[in-house]
A and B are shown apart, each in its own frame.
Chain A
């Protein structure tokens, strides 16, 4: 039985890999969920067709990162998977149901006509909205901490529900809208783009508001977190993160009002990255806050080693053909039915 345990810190590598997979998911599915949330507010049906076409070739691949997040967690940190899923049972199930409604809308919408088409417009919208909101609630519930007894979840079915998790839920909805609108600025033109650009500016204000709110609230949830972000000297070490975020907001605001097409998407991605980094630093080293660390949750070294071989070989290949697919469908999208 081979194992890389003597040479490398396997749990650490896997913690980074899972965190990366989750971030890729948030980024990639984030923009297509955002497009879904904004769907009914678009100026016309043709705009909606165009919005849908801009993400149709990618959504399936994007959502696969969520499967990798779940499957990877199961493989690399089974204990965390076994505690978190029952703890977050309700929002996870609701998220999955939301994803069903929005996933099928891609196919059904172009097959339906007249009134039934409206059904799938709203199925796409509400599915995306529920999925995004629940993901934000999952994040909030996760940050608040999980009640654990021995090796299993020991709390109640609605532990995750609080003012804080509702706030993170709303925050993520706006965050995804920002990714979605800047994606549309990049992938469309004419009135769709003009509308997306205007919407992005409004959304940006809300994103800034909620990021400040979450940043202020989090230290009050936990003594250690407060010490980390406001204690000396760590305050100065961590200061660059909020500063970079503020810089990104300012640049994005400028870009949106100066007709830039590509950079807004990259900048909103940067904003997501700073927020994600902030969460990551706050929650380190917990895999189940504040009960189980990533080392405690780790699968057997043999199991982590086996999958690591696959991940090291296959992840670069996956990223390569994903990039190829984005390259292939580059440029502005049309509104025509595609196959």
Chain B
């Protein structure tokens, strides 16, 4: 605890300095100033800082896979259609979306490399204690997925003139499969942290594996995997559909836009109802294994039979009740137990230091579910318009789809907030508390690196978003049908070496 003394001293100097410069301006009084500085810099506890940093870096990261998982699969479908039908429109679509894919994937890679080190930099005690279990799962993710994606992405982007069409298509499929394998391992690791099993705790307090199948296929894993992969596909569908709708609305690139909106809605029609069913099953699984999380999700304080479904409320941790609640009687019990008078345990069953932050879990869940039903509504309306043959002409619906473009991202983030915040105060549920898992790193290091991450991510990913929006505004390149065969390889063709060196390099001197 030596460094704490050190910190105090430093903070005094800092305060003195700040006080003088601020007091000269006469805006802020002495006491407020002291409080402010303490709150901003020095009284943030390292656990909270580490949590904020991890939450920030992983939230930013998940946005990209949530999109690329679906986009890779969609690109595979589009390229398959192109190979089968030879229609230029599929080629246009592929060439257009691969650019967006490349930018997104690049951002996913760089933010992902950060994640592979954040376990150690921020949660070293956790890494040490559960390394025997989580380590191999992450190791398998690298070995089975990351190399595959990275290498074949290179061929997908730059291999046009160097591989056959069949091999190019294979590369696209391999990248798509890679994204799914990656999801498999990382969700297995995360699910194990939610519903740990298949281990013993040794005399040295470390966890030792006893059954790998139980570890990998832990109780919440199948549900979480299905829920997340479906969510990723839906996220992509609503982005592609939204952009297709935008082109239709602006009356540009109609052929491409119809395929985008049409295929997106086709997927949404099947996947939104499926996702709601999977979500329900996932919830019941959580009810069985992490009942306190469900109590927070539903905002239920007292154990009751026939618990109501609260639509709106402000959960109040002081009074241990909900303010301004609007609820539908018995519905929560019906959903979770499939009985009108089923019993749901309330938060008060657990001591206060065993409960997750209720408000965040409660509201994140409502945002996620709300978006889910908006997606269902969109799919239903889209299907009706399709059968009325007005899908591609209904401008109001196109505007609606444009508004729904980012919906998947919001839902995915909200969903992860539910499951991760709902697991608190534990990092591995029931085994290791988050507060005990943190690295022995001084507050300043975490605070400054957090600040650096925030600034860098906002700048870099702001720029990435700008370039993607720019690509969307520019739209697909127009290709003539007779160019189709030729242009498959024309981009990036190396001009004959002699000519190239004469024409391109002599001029630059």
Residues of A whose CB lies within 8 Å of any CB of B are 1, 43-47, 56-58, 60-61, 63-64, 66-68, 70-72, 74-76, 78-79, 81-86, 89-90, 92-93, 96-97, 99-101, 103-104, 106-108, 111-112, 151-154, 156-157, 189-192, 299-300, 302-303, 306-307, 310-311, 314-315, 318, 321-322, 325, 328-329, 331-332, 334-339
Question: Which DSSP category, helix, strand, loop or mixed, fits chain A's interface?
Answer: helix
- State whether the Cβ of B103 lies closer than 8 Å to any Cβ in chain A: yes
Q: Are A82 and B136 in contact (CB under 8 A)?
A: no
Residues of B within 8 A of A154 (CB): 440
A156 close to B3 (CB less than 8 A): yes
Q: Which of B80-106 contact A (CB under 8 A)?
A: 95, 98-99, 102-103, 106
Ranked nearest first, the 9 interchain pairs of A and B with the lowest CB-CB distance are A78-B131, A85-B120, A75-B135, A338-B492, A57-B154, A82-B128, A75-B139, A103-B110, A60-B150
- A59 to B348: give the CA distance in the assembly, Å: 53
Q: Is B326 an interface residue (CB 8 A)?
A: no
Pick the contact of B471: A61, A97, A111 (CB < 8 A): A111
Closest beta carbon of chain A to B153's beta carbon, Å = 6
Contact: B162 with A328, CB < 8 Å?
yes
Query: Considering the chains assembled together, what is the distance between the CA atoms of A122 and B231 in angstroms?
Result: 37
B110–A334 touching, CB < 8 Å? no
Give Cα A86–Cα B142 distance, bound, in whole angstroms.
Answer: 22
When C-beta atoms are compared, the residue in chain A nearest to B206 turns out to be A300
- B117 is an interface residue with CB less than 8 A from chain A: yes
8 contacts between A and B (CB under 8 A): A1-B210, A68-B146, A74-B134, A78-B127, A78-B128, A89-B449, A100-B113, A101-B460
Residue of chain B at shortest CB distance from A315: B143
- Interface: B441 (CB within 8 A): yes
Q: Mark B458-471, 1 if CB is under 8 A from A, else 0.
A: 00100110010011
Would A191 and B440 be within 8 Å (CB), given that A103-B110, A307-B135 are in contact?
no
A128 → chain B, closest Cβ, in Å?
13
Contact between chains at A314 and B158 (CB < 8 Å): no
Query: Are A314's CB and B146's CB within 8 A?
Result: no
Chain B, residues 296-336, CB within 8 Å of chain A (1/0): the string is 00000000000000000000000000000000000000000
Q: How many residues of B contact A (CB 8 A)?
A: 87
> Does the CB pair B154–A60 fall under 8 Å?
yes
Q: Is the interface of B mostly helix, strand, loop or mixed?
A: helix
B109 to chain A, nearest CB (A): 6
* Binary CB contact string for chain B from 465 to 506 against chain A (1 if under 8 A, 0 otherwise): 001001100000000000000000001111101001100110
Q: Is the CB of B121 within 8 A of A157?
A: no
Interface residues of B in 421-467 (CB under 8 A from A): 439-442, 444-445, 449, 452-453, 456, 460, 463-464, 467
B155 in contact (CB, < 8 A): yes
Q: Contacts A108-B464, A190-B505, A321-B151 known; A78 to B491 CB distance under 8 Å?
A: no
User: B107: which A residues are within 8 A, CB to CB?
Assistant: 104, 107
CA distance A75 to B143 in the complex (A): 12
The answer to whether A78 touches B135, judged by C-beta atoms less than 8 angstroms apart, is yes
Q: Which residues of A contact B152 (CB under 8 A)?
A: 321
Contact call B114/A96, Cβ cutoff below 8 A: yes
A84 CB contacts on chain B under 8 angstroms? 120
B1 to chain A, nearest CB (A): 11
Once bound together, how far apart are the Cα atoms of A98 and B492, in whole Å? 29
Q: A192-B505, A315-B143 known; 20 other A-B pairs, CB under 8 Å? A: A58-B154, A63-B150, A67-B142, A71-B139, A72-B142, A82-B120, A89-B449, A90-B445, A97-B456, A100-B456, A100-B460, A103-B110, A104-B107, A104-B464, A300-B206, A303-B209, A310-B136, A310-B140, A322-B147, A338-B158
